[in-house]
Structure 1
């Protein structure tokens, strides 16, 4: 019986490794201006951290939205541990936080692990 649990745990670990968090590119303090503020398209940015449980829950939704709105919306993520200045500049005090930018301006912030429909409604307002 213990072997079954170990096998299931091992399979779960492999499944996590197969689907990395790399579907959405990261933005850093060095690339913020060119990728987000100077974008011709609206931009959705997820503020997250590796230790954040709710961030892990919302990440697959962010990945899906990135694919669904490809060509209409750019999607990036910011690791708040590595780019704390960006988070501070935009008043991010809780993660996950998603901010939508248009023409270089912050238009809307969505705080917490919200349903996909909530994010979709927010995105569609700025397309």
Structure 2
């Protein structure tokens, strides 16, 4: 029962982090798409906002589930990162294909790839920074003893 509660709690936290990252992403996309319009008069429709909020939440949960790859002790960290990156990238690419009504172009592939690399670096960069700080603190405590 505790494992299910932990799974739900961690999934919820990851989903909320996904909403945070997704909201920042949506705001940046919105600002870049103004094309000289006054930001005070520009509009974001509720349907669009809710769509991005839900998608961001689901992406956050997916990143959490995909992080289970790091639980494999048989693989090196490099192999885990490589596999995790491509599992997440394929899911991200398929989501973008769905959003773009399955129309594919070189420009779309480049945009999706660059967007994903930035998002991946933010999500897992923060995770690995936290992990590195935790290991550093543990090592410092071990040196004290």
Q: Same fold (TM over 0.5)?
A: no
| Structure with the bigger percentage of strand | 1
The structure with higher relative contact order (CA 8 Å, sep 6+) is 1
Larger Rg: 2
TM-score by length of 1: 0.31
